[in-house]
Amino acid sequence: DLLDIPPSYYEKAAKRHRSLGDWFCRPESKLAAYAPAVYAQGSFRLGLVVRPILRGEEYDLDTVCELQRLEKTALTQRDLKMLVGHEVHGYAEAHNIKDPVVPRKRCWRLEYADDVSFHIDILPCVPEDESTISNLVRLGVAPGLARLATALTCTEHPQYAVRSSNWPTTNPGGYGTWFENRMTVEAQARRKQLVAEGYYASVEDVPTYALKTPLQRSIQLLKRHRDVMFKDERELKPISMIIT
């Protein structure tokens, strides 16, 4: 239990996702016409966050901004990065975020300076094309999960500034769904227990982070082992997704 962050941190992360989604979908937004979907990926979605062992470490909140009504051949990766970046800069200004918005290789980073040390990485992407989805299915990905794949931007990609169908691909939505399906039996029992104990009104209300299944706990322990083992060699520390 000491590895866990307080539930209020997860709730704060969820509020920030909703706030970003509201901003991107407002009528004045340059993204609104493309039906932006904003959702969490990584440790916060899957309930795998562990407390930092060193003072001053930040929590990494990974967010996807998927423009659902935009095809990747309609613009370049750079165009998409700048389109989303314009709204991220506007959000930072409107919400009085003092630290500058940081462009990173695949995302935009916002730094929050409040009671919880968060930074939020916003990943611009668009739905993958049928050719890529078919390739994923041939590689063994379930069709329903393959359809959740997205094309993302990367400043180091050779086609970054060229209009092309050759984009990097990723699938945070499909991976998150697959991961949650791996703990279905334990999760169902845990949800019923939490409702019976009065923590939630219904099983549908129980968030993934509250489940504490053996799968989640095992990964948290592996991540803590990683943090301790590489405490003095931070540059060699494996990223959390590799461990997950």
Token pair listed for 38 = 């904003």
User: pTM for the full model?
Assistant: 0.91
CB atoms within 10 A of CB 225: 11
Token pair listed for 30 = 């340059």
How far is residue 34's CA from residue 11's CA, in Å, rounded to a whole number?
A: 27
Residue type, 220: Q
174 within 8 A of 90, measured Cβ to Cβ: no
179-234 pLDDT, tens digit each:
999 999 999 999 999 999 999 999 999 999 999 999 999 999 999 999 999 999 98
105-159 pLDDT, tens digit each:
999 999 887 667 788 999 999 999 999 999 999 999 999 999 999 999 999 999 9
